[in-house]
């Protein structure tokens, strides 16, 4: 028989106190390990980019054109490695080191494109393509416009 007068046992920890318990029991992010790995992975990616710049320069391209061609090559490689299912593994290891370079940007466009293709090319790929990169584009472009405007006024 259900006894409605029975006292209900309650947790003796309040939601407030629980927040300190969470801090105590949640493992800290491995910052030093992540920073070192990001430095190595990011460094390697940028070195590869530099190799392409030098290579294209040796083909007779001017400095600016060579770096544009190298950027395009790196974007292609980032997209290719995403398609082959390798870039997410690099990202897991390298963290910011593989997100910040242009290859990471390629990854953040190609990954949603692959993921949402099953929902069709319009409402899938088309609508979801910028789910990851969208905020970077919106605020990156806005910032560059503002900075460009300030630069224009100062000169």
Q: How far is the CB of 116 from other proteins (least distance, A)?
A: 7
The 3-state DSSP class for residue 76 equals helix
Nearer to other proteins, 21 or 51 (CB): 21
Nearer to other proteins, 38 or 70 (CB): 38
Q: What one-character DSSP code corresponds to residue 9?
A: P
Nearer to other proteins, 10 or 154 (CB): 10
Q: How far is the CB of 138 from other proteins (least distance, A)?
A: 16
Nearer to other proteins, 60 or 85 (CB): 85
DSSP secondary structure string, 80-118? Answer: HHHHTT-HHHHHHHHTHHHHSSHHHHHHHHHHHHHHGGG
Length of the chain, in residues: 155
Nearer to other proteins, 66 or 90 (CB): 90
Q: How far is the CB of 69 from other proteins (least distance, A)?
A: 24
Q: What one-character DSSP code corresponds to residue 2?
A: -
> 75 with 106: CB under 8 angstroms?
yes
* Angle, CA 119 vertex, CA 114 and CA 124 arms, to 5°: 65
Binding site for other proteins (CB under 8 A): 1-3, 6, 8-13, 15, 18-19, 21-22, 25-30, 34, 82, 85, 87-92, 94-95, 98-99, 104, 107-108, 110-112, 114-116, 118, 131-132
Q: How far is the CB of 132 from other proteins (least distance, A)?
A: 6
């Amino acid at each position: 028989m259900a006894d409605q007068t029975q006292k209900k046992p309650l947790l003796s920890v309040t939601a407030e106190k629980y927040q300190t318990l969470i801090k105590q029991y949640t493992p800290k992010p491995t910052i030093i390990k992540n920073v070192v790995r990001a430095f190595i992975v990011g460094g390697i990616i940028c070195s590869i980019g530099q190799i392409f710049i030098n290579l294209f320069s040796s083909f007779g391209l001017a400095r600016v054109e060579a770096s544009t061609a190298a950027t395009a090559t790196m974007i292609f490689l980032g997209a290719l490695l995403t398609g082959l299912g390798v870039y997410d593994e690099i990202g897991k290891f390298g963290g910011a080191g593989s997100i910040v370079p242009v290859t990471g940007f390629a990854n953040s466009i190609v990954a949603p494109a692959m993921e949402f293709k099953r929902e069709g090319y319009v409402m899938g790929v088309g609508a979801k393509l910028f789910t990851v990169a969208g905020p970077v584009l919106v605020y990156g472009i806005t910032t560059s416009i503002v900075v460009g405007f300030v630069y224009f006024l100062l000169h």
